[in-house]
Structure 1
Amino acid sequence: MGKRGKKPAGALRALDIKPAERVQPPKGMSARDRKLFQAIVAGLPADHFLPQDVPMLRDYCQAAGRSQDAQTAIIKLGLLIPGAKGSLKANPAIAIRTAAAGVMAQLAVKLRICPSARGAGGSRPRVGDAPRVLSTPGRRMFGDESQED
């Protein structure tokens, strides 16, 4: 066991805190996807994304690109296109756009880039932040009715 009591002044040291660095787009992204990646990162606090978020953010940007490409095809060709036997069928770009929108919606929540996922504070909770207070129904649900709003 270590010594008890107050530490001598020389034993304390200052922490070297560096400002957070923004994540960078990975290699191999198209120029359009890279531009979106950089815009999303620049639009949030520097420490919002961690290095492990980069693959998901890349996938989000690529899904956004697929969605734009599919929308362009829908505008150009229309919602219905001629099938093999001449009958009309739904443009396959509709399914591509729908799938891309689903991927974007899921990743937006995981990456906390949609307002509902960021919560009231606008970003992930920080160390030392006060805990969020539950509403009255939440307090009743979890058995803590004694606290007041």
Structure 2
Amino acid sequence: MADKNMSDIIEAYLLQLMAEEKYAEIQRSELARRFAVVPSQINYVINSRFSTKRGYIVQSKRGGGGYIRIEKVAIRQEHGWLDQLIAEVGQRITPSGANEVVHLLCAEHLVTAHEVELIMAMLNREALDVGNVETSDVLRAQLLKNLLNRLRFDIAKEF
């Protein structure tokens, strides 16, 4: 475990909790004490490793007795999941962010590995080279949200 950083260790712990209960419900300050880190480190792990783009829903309740609940989403059973993913893509997305989203779709069997290659060819930095990184990120987000909207309707037909 010497080659693992603290974020990896915290992530592994949360994944272990989810394996046992299908979700992890934690208090941020308690988890920070457990691993001797500042609470912002816990926020970093949750925001970077347990995002909607990676197939998780994170809910939080603030205040005394507040908690953070992390749950892996079963996409085909969660009608609103793609809507949340579309919202998370937002107005701009980087090539690496788009890559995460598209590979999640493949992992959840919404697109094939071949389709991932085709989609990523259209969303990569070279294909969207319009002379301005910000404009490319905006265009990439529009294209990705269009794809997600189309998939949302395909999923709705299955139910």
TM-score of the alignment, normalized to the shorter chain, above 0.5? no
TM (norm. structure 1) is 0.27
Structure with a larger share of its residues in helix: 2
Computing the radius of gyration over CA atoms, which structure comes out larger, 1 or 2? 1
Between structures 1 and 2, the one with greater strand share: 2
* TM-score (norm. length: structure 2): 0.26
